[in-house]
Amino acid sequence: LLNSIYEAESVKTCMIYGRRRIGKTTLIERFVSDKPNINIEFDDSSSKINLDIINNRISAFIGREVRTDSMRSSMDIIKDICKERKMVIVFDELPYMTSNFSGGASEIQHLTDWVTRNTDSMIIIAGSSVSLMLDEVMRSDRPLYKRFMFTIDLGPLKINDTRMIHRSMSDEDLMRTYLTLGGVSAYHRLVGDHSYKEMMNRYVLNRFGFIQSDVQMGINLELGNRVTDVVSIFKAISGGDNTYGGIQNISCLEDPVLQRDLDRMTVAGFIQKNDSMITSRRSKIYTISDPTTAFYYDVVDRNRSVLDTSDKDPYGSLEHIISTWLGKQFEVFCRDFIKEKYPCSEIGSWWGKAPLTKDGKVMKDEGGKVVTEDVDIDVVAVIRKGNDRVDLFGECKFTREPMGFPVLNDLQIRVDSLKGSFNKRLALFSVSGFSDRLREYSEENGILLFDLDVLLGKKGLPELG
């Protein structure tokens, strides 16, 4: 996309944003490596230091020292350079400059307007604070409003891309690592080809390790002025108080402060609000959507006392808890997989009441009334195939043993309890595969099976029929 903008577009402006460590700076460096460029990366410090950074980058490009006493003068020099040749001008970590440099955004606006009108050069802005980057270009009261014609929301790597980093990992450890690190390229590069257990002990569960401190730094960068209240929201969600009322009760935050914090955390990609599919429910729930942040609050923070006394093998002390957490993350992965691979118009999960079963039979009380329990269906998707609609219902298991009939039976009972008219297809997701009998039955009855080979792209997708 960047190359096509550089080569073909008349207005060559692009904003790149995304969470810390996702690869924005590396992407920009690769893009400009064969092009004349002035790549300015701002610092979270004074206006004087940031002006020095600009002048140093200009000096490095033209081969002689440049010292100006204002950003306007520095921008005028960049204009002169762009007159002479086609350039790429990059302002990386833009929020550092706009928060420390009064009038800095206006100077970049003037430069951008002049360059796009008078030259064939390209201007890129980038930053790790998602909310601040969006504010800079989306709010009508900001100088850079509507100045950047293209936008790249740089997301995480796909699991198959991480295979190129973890070449020697087993498929099972690759999946565990991906669920924990969430496709954040810097984290995957850091841990390399260690086994999952060794990776966890060295880099994730180690209180002196890089990843724990980096997660906290990312929260401070994005939400620093609200960090105390935001932490209370994270703790409420990870502790199961994940409705608006539950979060409010734990955090003691009043409206509209709580709503503003939730909105800001959502824009920043830390949390998301979820509705139950199929049936409308008043009580929506919030989840921590960033995987490393979720792991920190769901596992590390909630088990700090165990970790503090388990320096030699913290993973061994928390293996059961981590396995349960991986199971929940696997559900998210499977929903994302279906959304990516099939033409979904809606996707999510369902939670509600369904008949309680034992050994495959529906339980009844002494009066003959069906006994119900609170349950969920991990994957619910509406898939459009031509003029046809397929309602996909799926169950996900992250266990060591191949999946058998009990999981399918429970899913069938839960789906049958739903009210409505559906074109039902059942799907099962398992990292450990399926029993031979379940495979045979599924093939005869149109049950879609997704094992690790399918999820990693080693086998083709099941056909919807």
Query: Tell me: the pLDDT tens digits for 118-170?
Result: 999 999 999 998 988 999 999 999 999 999 999 999 999 999 999 999 999 99
282, pLDDT greater than 60: no
Q: Judging by beta carbons within 10 Å of its beta carbon (0-12, 13-18, 19+), is residue 128 exposed, middle or buried?
A: buried
User: Which is more confident, 18 or 309?
Assistant: 18
Write the single-letter amino acid at 28.
Answer: I
CA 102 to chain centre: 32
Query: Tell me: the pLDDT tens digits for 205-241?
Result: 988 888 999 999 999 988 878 899 999 999 999 999 9
Write the single-letter amino acid at 446.
Answer: G
Considering only CA atoms, give the Rg of the chain. 26
Cis preceding-peptide flag for 402 (omega within 30 of 0): no
Mean pLDDT of the chain: 93
Q: What is the pLDDT of residue 232?
A: 96
- From the list 135, 158, 125, the residue with the least C-alpha distance to 24 is 125
Mean pLDDT over 170-191 rounds to 96
310, pLDDT greater than 80: no
Mean pLDDT over 375-389 rounds to 91
Residue 448: φ, ψ to 5° = -85, 125
Q: What is the pLDDT of residue 334?
A: 98
SS3 273: strand
401, pLDDT greater than 60: yes
427, pLDDT greater than 90: yes
363, pLDDT greater than 70: yes
Helices (H), 85-147: 94-100, 104-118, 130-138
Q: What is the pLDDT of residue 281?
A: 58
- From the list 219, 297, 288, 223, the residue with the least C-alpha distance to 260 is 223
319, pLDDT greater than 90: yes
Query: ∠196-199-203 over CA atoms, to 5°?
Result: 150
Q: Which residues pair with 375 in a beta bridge?
A: 352
Query: Tell me: the pLDDT tens digits for 14-39?
Result: 999 999 999 999 999 999 999 999 99
The answer to whether 144 and 13 have CB atoms below 8 angstroms apart is no
Mean pLDDT over 234-255 rounds to 95
Residue 327 contacts by C-beta under 8 Å, 6 or more apart in sequence?
A: 396, 397, 398, 399
Q: What is the pLDDT of residue 280?
A: 56
How much helix, strand and coil, in percent to the nearest 5, is found in the chain? 50, 20, 30
Q: Determine the straight-line distance between the first and last CA of the chain, rounded to whole angstroms.
A: 35
The answer to whether 173 and 35 have CB atoms below 8 angstroms apart is no
